């Protein structure tokens, strides 16, 4: 088996899978909790996928590997603005959304086939902020302040 590095996160959000799906993919929502960024994709298998900074530069890019709204999204993902991270190549991001009572269990796995990955180290400090902010946004209609602007510590 190939050695991997990964970031694993599970959070329960009081919302519906449909709303959570929109929040994860639509610019209107991502701008609020994900450092004012927007994603661009046709959201179908094989389609290209990008995260754009507020001034239109590509922060990360890749491809939609699997998509099953509002339950599952798998992306091929590479950082584009830090050369040492870009050099590590493509990672794989899985979002899994499961309805559990009045909440949705969101599982996020971000993995790369490399040990001691700097990319995983970087996302491991960013994701908890962004996902906490996403939860706040959906539950209280207000995201966390530190994740609203680019560039922020949480988005590097």
Nearer to another protein, 72 or 148 (CB): 72
Across 63-85, b (16+ Cβ under 10 Å) vs e yields bbbebeebeebbbbbbbeeeeeb
Our CB check for another protein shows the closer of 53 and 107 to be 107
**Residues paired with 91 in a beta bridge:** 77
Please identify, using beta-carbon distances, which residue of 68 and 84 lies nearer to another protein: 68
Q: In angstroms, what is the minimal distance from the CB of 128 to another protein?
A: 9
154: phi then psi, degrees, rounded to nearest 5? -65, -20
In the complex, minimum distance from the CB of residue 1 to another protein, in angstroms, rounded to a whole number: 6
d(CA 84, CA 70): 34
**4 or 19: whose CB is closer to another protein?**
4
Q: How far is the CB of 147 from another protein (least distance, A)?
A: 19
Q: Which of 86, 117, 87, 108 is nearest to 2 (CA)?
A: 117
Binding site for another protein (CB under 8 A): 1, 4, 6, 8-10, 72, 94, 96, 107, 109, 111
């Amino acid at each position: 088996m190939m050695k991997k590095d990964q970031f694993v996160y599970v959070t329960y959000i009081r919302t519906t899978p449909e709303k959570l799906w929109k929040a994860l993919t639509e610019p209107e929502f991502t701008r609020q909790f994900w450092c004012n960024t927007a994603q661009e994709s046709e959201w179908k298998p094989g389609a290209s996928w990008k995260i754009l900074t507020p001034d239109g530069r590509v922060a990360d890019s890749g491809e939609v590997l699997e998509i099953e709204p509002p339950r599952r999204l798998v992306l091929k993902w590479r950082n584009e603005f830090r050369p040492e991270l870009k050099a590590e190549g493509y990672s794989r991001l899985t979002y899994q959304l499961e309805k559990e009572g009045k909440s949705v269990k969101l599982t996020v796995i971000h993995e790369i086939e490399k040990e001691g990955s700097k990319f995983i180290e970087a996302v491991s400090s960013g994701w908890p902020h962004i996902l906490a902010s996403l939860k706040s946004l959906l539950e209280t209609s207000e995201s966390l302040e530190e994740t609203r602007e680019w560039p922020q510590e949480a988005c590097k």
